[in-house]
């Protein structure tokens, strides 16, 4: 009997009761037959019927596996769990809402068979994506590129294939503030990009609230570079230089005129301005300090309460 290569499909799910059945059906329709599969649903602390639905899918089909978290740990940690336990010759991760179209999976596999070890996908925006999402994603990727040292292409999605070699290396990552879209380009290996058109969310609403998105953006930058800290040196020096010039002007003004009491406006403006910049930079330093604090605890990225892959 021929050895069939095994492909792991990782699907993070957070309150996806409305999409899951349709997703599962569509997924199986597009999985090429010459491979065997394990579908790993990672239930990220859903509060709806997501878990019972996954359990029933697992009952019907032995290739359906699941890992259920004890609470919501976030999308990136759900991906990490999938990567940690995937046992395939390669692993593909995609969203449960059908925005990452399963019909692209055969293309990902074809690239892998060509010899690429990582196959990334780039989302090409079109009308199905809301203007708000388009704009925020444009700003996000621009910011990421200018503030961090990795070159992330605009539209890079958490929809990708990685070879088992890469999976093994991913297991070595023990950081709490995960940002796979940065880690993956940083890893090297033979990488290919393919484009896809995102569908509209099949059902339900986005699980990335504005707050989650903002946290994600700050993590993206601060987990990846110390440029913001360096920026504070530049801004600090620039302001120090301006203050020096202004101080010079004030001294001359004091020495050669008798109208020293005027200038309240400029004093209050500079005090507020410098105070504001100071607070901002303290915030930046605090952000890094906080990350060091949390990373230092070496807490696990997620806690598992149930699974059919292993004994919990």
| % helix, strand, coil for the chain, step of 5 | 50, 15, 35
Tokens 């906080």 identify what position? 290
d(CA 15, CA 266): 54
Of the listed pieces 2-10, 89-97, 264-272, 284-292, which binds Mg ion according to CB under 5 A?
A: 89-97
Residues 54, 57, 207, 232: which binds ligand UDP (CB under 6 A)? 207
d(CA 7, CA 21): 20
**Token duo for residue 259:** 């109208």
d(CA 285, CA 279): 10
Of the listed pieces 57-65, 87-95, 156-164, 250-258, which binds Mg ion according to CB under 5 A?
A: 87-95
- Which partner in ligand UDP, Mg ion, none is near 74 (CB below 5 to 8 A by kind)? ligand UDP
**Token duo for residue 253:** 């003004």
Of the listed pieces 144-152, 202-210, 227-235, 243-251, which binds ligand UDP according to CB under 6 A?
A: 202-210
Query: In Å, how far are 70, 108, 264, 266, 273 from 269, measured between CA atoms?
Result: 51, 57, 8, 5, 6
Q: Is 202 in the site for ligand UDP (CB under 6 A)?
A: no
Residues 61, 138, 171, 206: which binds ligand UDP (CB under 6 A)? 206
Nearest-approach distance from CB 198 to Mg ion, in angstroms:
8
Q: Is 102 in the site for ligand UDP (CB under 6 A)?
A: no
Residue 156 DSSP one-character state: B
Residues 24, 43, 99, 137: which binds Mg ion (CB under 5 A)? 99
Q: Is 13 in the site for ligand UDP (CB under 6 A)?
A: yes
Nearest-approach distance from CB 42 to ligand UDP, in angstroms:
7
Q: Which of 208, 198, 159, 196 is nearest to 181 (CA)?
A: 159
E-assigned strand segments in 59-136: 64-69, 90-93, 118-124
Q: Is 12 in the site for ligand UDP (CB under 6 A)?
A: yes
- Which partner in Mg ion, ligand UDP, none is near 68 (CB below 5 to 8 A by kind)? none
Residues 74, 102, 220, 228: which binds ligand UDP (CB under 6 A)? 74
Residue 191 DSSP one-character state: E
Q: Is 97 in the site for Mg ion (CB under 5 A)?
A: yes
- Chain positions contacting ligand UDP, by CB under 6 A: 12-14, 16, 44, 72, 74-75, 78, 95-97, 99, 206-208
């Amino acid at each position: 009997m021929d050895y069939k290569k095994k492909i792991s499909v990782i699907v993070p799910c957070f309150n996806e009761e409305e999409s899951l059945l349709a997703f599962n059906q569509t997924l199986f329709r597009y999985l090429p037959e010459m491979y065997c599969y394990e579908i790993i649903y990672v239930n990220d602390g859903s509060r709806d019927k997501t878990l019972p639905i996954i359990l029933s899918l697992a009952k019907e089909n032995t290739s359906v596996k699941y890992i259920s978290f004890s609470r919501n740990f976030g999308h990136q940690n759900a991906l990490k769990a999938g990567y940690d336990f995937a046992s395939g010759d390669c692993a593909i991760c995609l969203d449960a809402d059908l925005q990452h179209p399963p019909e692209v999976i055969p293309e990902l596999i074809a690239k892998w068979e060509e010899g690429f070890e990582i196959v990334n996908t780039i989302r090409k925006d079109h009308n199905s994506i809301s203007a708000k999402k388009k704009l925020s994603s444009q700003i996000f990727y621009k910011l990421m590129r200018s503030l961090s040292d990795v070159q992330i292409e605009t539209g890079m999605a958490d929809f990708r294939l990685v070879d088992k070699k890469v999976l093994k290396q991913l297991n070595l990552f023990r950081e709490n503030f995960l940002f796979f879209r940065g880690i993956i380009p940083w890893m090297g290996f033979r990488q290919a990009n393919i484009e896809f058109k995102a569908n509209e969310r099949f059902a339900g609403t986005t699980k990335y609230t504005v707050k989650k998105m903002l946290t994600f953006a700050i993590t993206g930058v601060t987990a990846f570079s110390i440029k913001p800290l360096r920026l504070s040196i530049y801004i600090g020096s620039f302001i120090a230089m301006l203050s020096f010039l202004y101080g010079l002007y004030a001294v001359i003004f004091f020495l050669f005129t008798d109208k020293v009491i005027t200038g309240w406006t400029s004093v209050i403006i500079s005090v507020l301005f410098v105070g504001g910049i100071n607070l901002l930079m303290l915030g930046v330093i605090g952000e890094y300090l906080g990350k060091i604090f949390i990373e230092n605890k070496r807490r696990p990225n997620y806690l598992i309460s149930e699974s059919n892959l292993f004994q919990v």
